[in-house]
């Protein structure tokens, strides 16, 4: 007997499409927000100079009316920035714009903007951690010595050491009289299990915009969380993952780009409230998206192809390595 069924009439069955697209999971991009920016109006290099401080005078003048010997002169440090270009692009066709069910171009522009923002944040993160003064949790002296079996996970004491070192180097706070510290969510989980840390930690007001990643303060340091914090996969003993905890003082680093293509180091266009499915839930474009319409890409006599892309110029120099502290550590995450 003939049966009207899905198997017999598969051509009549269509997929139900939801016009509302799923939210993409995006990291909070915070690493670049404390950089000292500079721009070049033309090609070339950008130079900054620093005169070093002189030591204190501890001896009295030898006698009345006697001119002392000439004191030492400050040394001069010159630092040079040379921006280079970064970028990416993707092509699209006439047919996909005419027959695609989703708003392809607007979605792909958003995807590329997110890639640009992540790229800028990752470049800044890597340059900062590579140029910072590096320390290791539990008093260890190398990344490869960090061993979970010997309880080398991060503790409250590790944080106190970093803050003390910043103060000892006369580092200045970045904002609100406080240093900044960028941590991974797994590090945050470990610290929340440290009773001493929790007893000292002061939570920020609920009105703080979560898009900034701000968690709260401890003494003179404000903590920011980002899933884009640096991880050295299998970097420790027994293939343990090692995490960075980056402490930042003011004027410790600068970023330079060309005036027309300088990336936005602090994209904050995401909504203030937390969005399910992502860490920001909003646009994180940090550069201009370059769109070429159908037929604008070169030899395309039938106007069948277009492109979307981005490009930016960037260079970062650590100007005071002692005002950046990078704590490499293990986490108690199980």
- Per-residue pLDDT of 228-259, as tens digits, reads 999 999 999 999 999 999 999 999 999 888 87
pLDDT of residue 301: 92
In this model, does residue 222 exceed pLDDT 50?
A: yes
| Residue 76 within a domain | no
Domain membership of residue 155 (yes or no) is yes
- In tens, the pLDDT along 11-53 reads 665 655 555 556 666 677 889 889 988 877 766 777 777 777 7
Instruction: Identify which has the larger pLDDT, 8 or 236.
Output: 236
| Residue 167 covered by a domain | yes
Q: Is residue 179 part of a domain?
A: yes
266 found inside a domain: no
d(CA 115, CA 121): 10
Q: Which domain holds residue 189?
A: 137-251
Q: Which residue has the higher pLDDT, 257 or 154?
A: 154
Comparing 75 with 13, the larger pLDDT belongs to 75
Identify the weakest region by mean pLDDT among 27-31, 114-118, 283-287. Answer: 283-287
pLDDT one-digit tens code per residue, 262-277: 887 765 543 334 344 3
Q: Residue 15 burial by CB count (10 A; 0-12/13-18/19+): exposed, middle or buried? A: exposed
In the predicted model, what is the mean pLDDT of the chain? 82
10 Å Cβ neighbour count for 242? 22
Q: Got the DSSP string for 234-296?
A: T-SGGG--EEEEEEE-TTSEEEEEEGGG---SS---S-SS--TTSSS-S----SPEEEE-TT-
Summarised one tens digit per residue, pLDDT across range 170-200 is: 999 998 889 999 999 999 999 988 888 888 8
Q: What CATH number is associated with residue 206?
A: 3.30.1930
- The reply to whether 177 falls in a domain is yes
Q: What are phi and psi of 137, to 5 degrees?
A: -65, 155
Mean pLDDT of 133-153: 95
Provide the pairing of β-strand 253-258 with 36-40.
parallel
Query: What pLDDT, on a 0 to 100 scale, did the predictor assign at position 282?
Result: 45
Sign of the alpha-carbon torsion through 87, 287, 278, 101: negative
């Amino acid at each position: 007997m003939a049966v009207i069924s899905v198997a017999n009439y598969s051509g009549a069955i269509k997929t139900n499409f939801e016009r509302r697209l799923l939210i993409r999971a995006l990291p909070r991009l915070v690493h670049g927000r404390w950089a000292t920016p500079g721009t070049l109006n033309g090609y070339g290099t950008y130079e900054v100079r620093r005169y070093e401080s002189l030591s204190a005078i501890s001896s009295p003048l030898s006698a009345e009316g006697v001119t002392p010997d000439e004191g030492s002169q400050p040394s001069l440090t010159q630092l040079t920035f040379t921006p280079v270009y970064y970028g990416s692009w993707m092509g699209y066709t006439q047919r996909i714009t005419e027959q695609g069910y989703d708003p392809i171009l607007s979605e792909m522009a958003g995807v590329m903007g997110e890639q640009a923002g992540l790229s800028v944040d990752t470049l800044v993160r890597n340059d900062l951690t590579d140029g910072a003064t590096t320390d290791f949790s539990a008093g260890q002296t190398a990344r490869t010595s960090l061993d979970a079996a010997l309880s080398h996970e991060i503790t409250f004491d590790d944080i106190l050491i970093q803050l003390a070192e910043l103060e000892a180097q006369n580092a200045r706070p970045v904002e609100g009289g406080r240093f900044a510290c960028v941590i991974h969510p797994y590090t945050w989980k470990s610290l929340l299990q440290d009773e001493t840390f929790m007893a000292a930690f002061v939570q920020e007001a609920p009105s703080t915009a979560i898009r900034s990643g701000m968690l709260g303060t401890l003494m003179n340091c404000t903590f920011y969380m980002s899933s884009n914090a640096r991880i050295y996969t299998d970097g420790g003993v027994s293939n343990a993952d090692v995490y960075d905890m980056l402490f930042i003082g003011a004027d410790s680093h600068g970023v330079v780009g060309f005036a027309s293509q300088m990336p936005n180091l602090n994209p904050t266009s995401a909504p203030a409230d937390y969005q399910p499915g992502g860490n920001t839930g909003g646009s994180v474009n940090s550069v201009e998206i370059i769109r070429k319409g159908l037929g604008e890409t070169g030899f395309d006599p039938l106007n069948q192809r277009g492109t979307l892309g981005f490009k930016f110029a960037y260079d970062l120099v650590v100007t005071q390595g002692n005002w950046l502290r990078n704590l490499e550590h293990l986490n108690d995450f199980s």
